[in-house]
Chain A
Amino acid sequence: EVQLVQSGAEVKKPGESLKISCKGSGYRFTSYWIGWVRQMPGKGLEWMGIIYPGDSDTRYSPSFQGQVTISADKSISTAYLQWSSLKASDTAVYYCAREAAGGSFDYWGQGTLVTVSS
């Protein structure tokens, strides 16, 4: 069974750093792109970027380029999303998802709520 399990909710202060994770199982982790999607409170879905764990090829949305870093450790089948300096506007639920061969997100993680508040 394909599963993506994300790390737990985080509460941080502005300026702090953070790295959240997404662990894949039940499939060949290195053969599928993993994407990250942001959902701010009460808002829609925003595509942030994707990574191919097989070779770490990464694509970012221009809206998120330079604001976050997407990485992966294929040895432990885990993808990451990290911030070096959080802002209050980073408060959101972040989802990871597997991109199927056709380009759709066919499996999703449960989401990680990140709250940034002083």
Chain B
Amino acid sequence: DIQMTQSPSSLSASVGDRITITCRASQSISSYLNWYQQKPGKAPKLLIYAASSLQSGVPSRFSGSASGTDFTLTISSVQPEDFATYYCQQIYSTPRTFGQGTKVEIK
């Protein structure tokens, strides 16, 4: 199985901050990487697919990038509704493994 390692596991931020979450794959996955947002008690929501493509309806403050086996989710200016847990997922091969999640909390 391909292992996905996210960092940090949690972070505190203030409204308006720029934050970055990293996901590292245990092997090359090209750009087969998605990012999801999950709020408590809710189903996950797709934010970014193919490493850097913004899902329809997702605010442009969210962006994704890739460099080798390292992938980054950036929120350019965190808004109150962005406090949630974020997961990466590789879709290069099955099982399509998720990272362990990064919880973004209010400072």
Contacts and interface: CB of A to CB of B under 8 A. Distances in A.
Interface of A: 35, 37, 44-47, 49-50, 59-63, 95, 97, 100, 102-106, 108-111
B73 to A, nearest CB: 14
Contact of B55 (A44, A95, A106, A111): A106
Chain B interface size band reads: 20 to 34
> What DSSP secondary structure best describes chain B's contact surface?
loop
Contacts of A46: 98
Interface string B39-81: 0000111100110000100000000000000000000000000
Contact of A103 (B87, B91, B95): B91
Given A47-B97, A63-B95, A104-B91, A109 B43 contact: yes
Given A103-B32, A104-B55, A111-B43, 4 more contacts: A45-B89, A49-B95, A105-B89, A108-B45
Contacts of A59: 94-95
